[in-house]
């Protein structure tokens, strides 16, 4: 169905941004220009009066799963990964507020000095009042990825669309950077992602979104205007539904 090109297709979305997306050309941490670029894209859709929740990963600073595979206790490693997401969330908040976007960081672990606790009704109210809500520290539990945390928050706040912003322009059968002949999938069913073992989003997150009928759009975050195209209803990237 053709969307009205003058108005957004969605009222409320959940945007998942990987920590690696914040690195830009550097090998670790935050690249200021990249963070500015991403926040400008977010502001562009916020100016359309869309209600936005964001979950950002922490892989640019610390990856809990990777550390556990090297011998660190998994719970400790995941706790460190949650703290990394808080750092990234505060960085996004600061940049967005400098751009005039009212933002609230809500945490899943006790951290009153930096942000406010995640309470579902309060999060929804922030969004209804036009504030952008950033959900930090995952679910507050080890063994759960930020994909799963983002899926959970999308369900809780009744998001109409889950957008996963990555470094690739959609879902492929293989890594297109390693195999130029990898097949691109413009549309997938939830179960296809699981049966084909496509690693674009983890199985728990897919199952949660499937059970609650929230579609997923996988896009390249680094292409200018992509976020706006998605919320206006353009068919870019890969749709999982």
pLDDT, tens digit (0-9, with 9 covering 90-100), for 86-114 = 999 999 999 999 999 999 999 999 988 98
φ/ψ of residue 16, rounded to 5: -105, 120
Q: What is the pLDDT of residue 32?
A: 96
Pairing of strands 216-220, 238-240: antiparallel
Q: Which residues pair with 219 in a beta bridge?
A: 165
* pLDDT above 90 for 5: no
Q: What is the pLDDT of residue 1?
A: 42
Query: ∠ at Cα 169 (167, 173), nearest 5°?
Result: 100
Whole-number Å distance between alpha carbons of 156 and 92:
22
Whole-number Å distance between alpha carbons of 167 and 106:
26
Taking a C-beta distance cutoff of 8 angstroms, is the pair 163, 127 a contact? no
pLDDT, tens digit (0-9, with 9 covering 90-100), for 31-48 = 999 999 999 999 999 999
* pLDDT above 50 for 3: no
Taking a C-beta distance cutoff of 8 angstroms, is the pair 217, 45 a contact? no
Q: What is the mean pLDDT of residues 55-71?
A: 89
Q: What is the mean pLDDT of residues 43-72?
A: 93
What is the CATH code of the structural domain delimited by 12-240?
Answer: 3.40.1160.10
Whole-model pTM: value is: 0.94
Question: Which pLDDT band holds residue 64 (cuts at 50, 70, 90)?
Answer: confident
| Token digits of residue 133 | 């809500």
Whole-number Å distance between alpha carbons of 228 and 49:
12
* pLDDT above 90 for 67: no
Domain edges within the chain: 12-240
* pLDDT above 70 for 2: no
pLDDT, tens digit (0-9, with 9 covering 90-100), for 173-230 = 988 888 889 999 999 999 999 999 998 999 999 999 999 999 999 999 999 999 999 9
pLDDT, tens digit (0-9, with 9 covering 90-100), for 170-183 = 999 988 888 889 99
Average pLDDT, the chain: 94
Taking a C-beta distance cutoff of 8 angstroms, is the pair 82, 137 a contact? yes
Other Cβ atoms closer than 10 A to 110: 9
How far from 12 is each of 9, 135, 189, CA to CA, in Å? 10, 15, 22
Q: What is the pLDDT of residue 4?
A: 54
């Amino acid at each position: 169905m053709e969307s009205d090109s003058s108005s957004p297709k969605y009222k409320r979305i959940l945007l998942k941004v990987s920590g690696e997306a914040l690195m830009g050309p550097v090998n670790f941490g935050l690249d200021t220009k990249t963070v500015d670029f991403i926040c400008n894209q977010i502001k562009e859709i916020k100016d359309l009066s869309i209600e936005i929740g964001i979950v950002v990963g922490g892989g640019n600073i610390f990856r809990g799963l990777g550390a556990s595979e090297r011998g660190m206790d998994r719970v400790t490693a995941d706790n460190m990964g949650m703290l990394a997401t808080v750092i990234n969330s505060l960085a996004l908040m600061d940049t967005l507020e400098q751009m005039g976007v009212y933002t609230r960081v809500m945490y899943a672990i006790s951290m009153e000095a930096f942000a406010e606790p995640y309470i579902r009704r309060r999060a929804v109210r922030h969004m209804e009042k036009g504030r952008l809500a950033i959900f930090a520290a995952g679910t507050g539990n080890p063994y759960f990825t930020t994909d799963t945390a983002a899926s959970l928050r999308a369900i809780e706040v009744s998001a109409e669309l889950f957008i996963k912003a990555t470094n690739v322009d959609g879902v492929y059968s293989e890594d297109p950077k390693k195999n130029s002949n990898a097949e691109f999938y413009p549309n997938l069913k939830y179960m296809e992602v699981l049966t084909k073992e496509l690693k674009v989003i983890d199985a728990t997150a897919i199952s949660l979104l499937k059970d609650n009928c929230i579609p997923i759009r996988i896009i390249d975050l680094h292409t200018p205007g992509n976020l706006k195209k998605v919320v206006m209803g353009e068919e870019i990237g890969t749709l999982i539904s």
